[in-house]
Structure formats: C-alpha cells, structure tokens
Amino acid sequence: MTEITRNYLKQLDAKDGLAKFRDEFYLTDDVIYFNGNSLGLMSKRAESSLYEVMETWKQYGIDGWMKGKRPWFYFNDELAELMTPLVGAAPEEICVTGSTTTNIHQMISTLYQPTEDRYKILADELNFPSDIYALKSQLRLKGFDDTALVQVQSRDGQTLLTEDIVAQMTDDVALILLPGVLYRSGQILDMKQLTTAAHKRGIIIGFDLCHSIGSVPHELSKWDVDFAVWCTYKHLNGGPGSVGGLYLNNKHHNHAPGLAGWFGSDKNKQFDMEHVFEKAIDASAYQIGTPHMLSTAPLIGALEMMTEAGIDAVRAKSLLMTDLLIELVTEHLVPFGFVITTPLDHNMRGGHLYIEHEEAARITKAMKAAGVIPDFRAPKGIRMSPVALYNTFTELYDAVMIIKTIMTEEKYKEFENEREIVA
C-alpha cells in the first residue's frame, strides 16, 4: 500500500484530468470546502448563464419568453438534454422544475392509486425528513393515516440491506420511495435490483437522487425505474435553492398530472387559455407553474461543465478521493475516537464520507474556524464531501492534518457541543 503523504497527493493533483475545472469556481483562499453535498460552490459559468437571463430580461422584458439567445419558453428543453447523461434517461422523460419536495408531491399524487387491498407506501427510516413529511401528507389526502407508511428498519442505524427492503415489498404495498444515496452514511442503494424486485410484485418504485445526482452515474430508463426526483444545488452546483428535477418513465406519460398547472400544458395550446387542461405529451406535463428563471438559469452553465467533465470521470475521481480520505482518517483520526460509518465498498459508497464522534458538533465548529468546511448532522455526525470538479487531492491531507491538530491540542473544547441553527 502506498503511503499517503502530501507529496504523493501533489503528484496525483499534477496528473488529475479534472484539475482544470477548479479554476472555473469561486474559491476562498485558505479554505478547504468539503460541503458540496449540501451546497456546491459557485462557478463562473453558472454566474454567466444567470447574467445572460438577466440581460435578456433587461433587454426584452416580457418578450424574453420568445426572444434572446435562449428563449425562456423553451429553456427546459435544453436543460433536459443536459440532464440526460446524468440520469440515464431520454430527454422527454426529464423535467427541470419545482423542488425535491414539490416533485415528490407531484409524482406521488400522479402515480399513487391505492385500492382497498393495495394502499401502503414503503419508505425507510433513514430517509431525509422532507420525503417522509410529503409521503405522510399524501396518505392523509387519500384518507389514510400514518400506519399506511411502512418504513424499512436499519440494522445498524446507518445503512439498509437490500434483502430487508425486498422483504417489506408485501402485497399491500402500492408504491415505494427510497433514496438513491442515503444522506447520512452515503450508502448507495442497488436501484436496479430494487426496481426489478418491486416490478415482480406489481409495485411502482421511485428514488430520491439528491445525494447521487452529479456524483454517481444512473441508468434510470435501462433499469425501468418508474420515477425519480432530485435537487440541483449539491453536486450539480446550481446555487442555493436552484430548481429541482424529476424523471418519469415514458410508460407513465399517459397519466394526468396529480397536480395540474398551466405550464404542464401542450405548448402549442397553452396560450389558448381554455379551462380544459391539455397536457404535454412528455415529462414537461408535470410542471405546475411558471418557471423560476433566475433560479433555473445557473444550471445551464453548471450542467455544461458537468457534461464536459463526464459523469464517469467525476465518479472515478470521487471514489479515489474518498478512498484516500478513508485511509487518512483511519491512520490519523480513528485513534482520537472517530468512527467511519460510510460503506467502504465502491458499489455501496456515494460521494461523501460520514464519520462520527461524540464531540462532533464542537469539532465541526473548530474545523470551520480553522478553514475546513464540513457538514454536521445531529447527534454526532460529520459529513465531508471532496468534490471532483473543484477539490484537490492535497486538500484531503491538509484537512485531516488540521482536524488532527484540533484533536491533539483539544481546540474543539473552545466551542459548545451543540449544533448551530443551520447545521
């Protein structure tokens, strides 16, 4: 095994085929940003595409919907094309719209069609809370209580076993929503195997890709996934609150949107202003209201850069970085009581590393004070996400050495061991 020295990591940086993209981002001197799995950094291209839309607004006003370099009325078509290689789907199966939670509501209200015998929704106990809130509210709207939501239990509090999920696919389950990558531990679920198992039992299945989109390749159409939702501000670097996305398998395009709105209309008839809704024939039918152009615009630049880099190259570098980070944490930080809970197997690991420590909240504060930006998750978790497009291999070493100094000199004791309002 090669010794992980700073000099060795400098050599990796010198050979890094994605290193050129680092210059595309706004970076802060003396800060190591390892929080791209919560909010990606701003790029110059994202800034440029935002200014482009603002310039169109300035120049054309209302006519920006049909004039300018990128008429807003057709903006989503270009974004769907750019999303295609990231989710492994046809452009007509993709729509950039809404937020993760509103898109969950849209997909569930469209595809969840309970019967007397088949009415339960299957999720898991480790999922992000917003997904669970949405599922429970959809059940209530259909006249069910929370007992109709089945949540797969974790055996270790960190990960899920495929066999445990499949075991819960009983005859009374109508629909399944699971994360592609668990937001805490970073475990990847086997979306292909789970989809096959669900379909054998006549169950519709979808995935929340918030923590996998832009860091892990997907083949949603090939796997025959029914639906998926995602955000665009983490690994896709679209900006805070940037517009989300949804995927709906072609076979479901015959469904009327559960939540209909005028921007889901057939574009040729949208401005007829009839009170009879004529839906678009593709996934754009599941838009609801007028697109939020200033929250969508940065995605053009951000996704163009991702296309140039290639998701396979991004994944390869991401895995190497987390491999190295695991080795460094094991050597230098485990002796101080840190525990790695992210799966070590490449096939089970997403784009971030999750470590736990009883003093995690105050350690996170000390890290930020020292120029390392991680993400804290109560009660004792620290997520570190080295991003392939803008983080370097050398930063892995420097970050771990800073944490080691914090622990050696007990600098974390200068802070309270409780989370900030925004963790």
pLDDT, one tens digit per residue, over 267-311 is 999 999 999 999 999 999 999 999 999 999 999 999 999 999 999
CATH classification of the domain holding 300: 3.40.640.10
| % of the chain beyond a pLDDT of 90 | 98
| pLDDT for the residue 3 | 86
CA 79 to CA 96: how far, in whole Å? 7
Total tally of structural domains belonging to the chain:
2
| pLDDT for the residue 399 | 98
| pLDDT for the residue 268 | 93
All residues at 6 or more sequence positions from 202 whose CB lies less than 8 Å from its CB, including other chains: 118
In a domain, 419, yes or no: no
| Pair 56, 154 in one domain | yes
Is 275 a known ligand-binding residue? Answer: no
Is 131 a known ligand-binding residue? Answer: yes
Condensed to tens digits (0 to 9), the pLDDT of residues 167-188 reads 999 999 999 999 999 999 999 9
Residue in 255, 257, 211, 253 with CA at minimum distance from that of residue 236 = 211
Is 109 a known ligand-binding residue? Answer: no
Question: Which among 274, 308, 342 is the end of a domain?
Answer: 308
Is 322 a known ligand-binding residue? Answer: no
Here the tokens at position 349 are 């690991």
Is 195 a known ligand-binding residue? Answer: no
| pLDDT for the residue 1 | 58
Residue 420 one-letter amino acid: E
Mean pLDDT for the stretch of residues 371-396: 97
| Pair 246, 347 in one domain | no
Is 63 a known ligand-binding residue? Answer: no
Boundaries of domain holding 136:
47-308
Residue in 406, 387, 67 with CA at minimum distance from that of residue 214 = 387
In a domain, 35, yes or no: no
Q: Cite the DSSP H helix spans in 24-180.
A: 44-60, 75-87, 100-111, 129-141, 162-167
Is 72 a known ligand-binding residue? Answer: no
CA 45 to CA 64: how far, in whole Å? 20
| Pair 319, 301 in one domain | no
Q: Categorize the per-residue pLDDT at 255 as very low, low, confident or very high, splitting at 50, 70 and 90.
A: very high
Here the tokens at position 77 are 């078509």
Is 130 a known ligand-binding residue? Answer: yes
pTM of the model: 0.97
Mean pLDDT for the stretch of residues 346-369: 98
Is 38 a known ligand-binding residue? Answer: no
Is 266 a known ligand-binding residue? Answer: no
Is 101 a known ligand-binding residue? Answer: yes
| Pair 97, 196 in one domain | yes
